[in-house]
Amino acid sequence: MLALELTTNATAPVDHHSGVVTVGGTITCTKAASVTVRGHVIQYQKHAETGGTYTTSVACTPGAPVAWSAQVESGEPGIPFEPGAATLRSRATATDLDYPATADTGQQNTEITLIKS
């Protein structure tokens, strides 16, 4: 059966012009699979809260971690992400083509630091 392991980076660059965050990490699988990584970034700022969602696909091959990354735009008009603390919620899923099953890492919550890029 297909098994997945998802890791996320502790820091993520935020573009100081656009406020777009690039999150990432690695995915490890026990057999070849097309893995979907999706999630949400939430940031509580001094006078506001912002968040945004992401989805990306990764061709995972067994034997070594495979890097993934995704760009996240703020879903709040006029409130871009900024350097500082944020919460990254992530989940990876993939269909096991040999069995009628879906591998799922479950939601992972990680405290990350957004850094100016």
Q: What's the pLDDT tens digit per position in 66-76?
A: 999 999 999 99
Q: Which architecture, in CATH terms, is 4-108?
A: Sandwich (2.60)
Q: How many angstroms separate the CA atoms of 90 and 26, rounded? A: 11
Confidence of residue 65 (pLDDT cuts 50, 70, 90): very high
> Which stretches within the chain are classed as H helix?
none
Amino acid at 6: L
pTM: 0.93
Query: What pLDDT does residue 61 have?
Result: 94
Give me the residue label for tokens 């083509």: 97
Confidence of residue 63 (pLDDT cuts 50, 70, 90): confident
Whether the pLDDT of residue 87 is over 90: the answer is: yes
Residue ranges per domain, the chain? 4-108
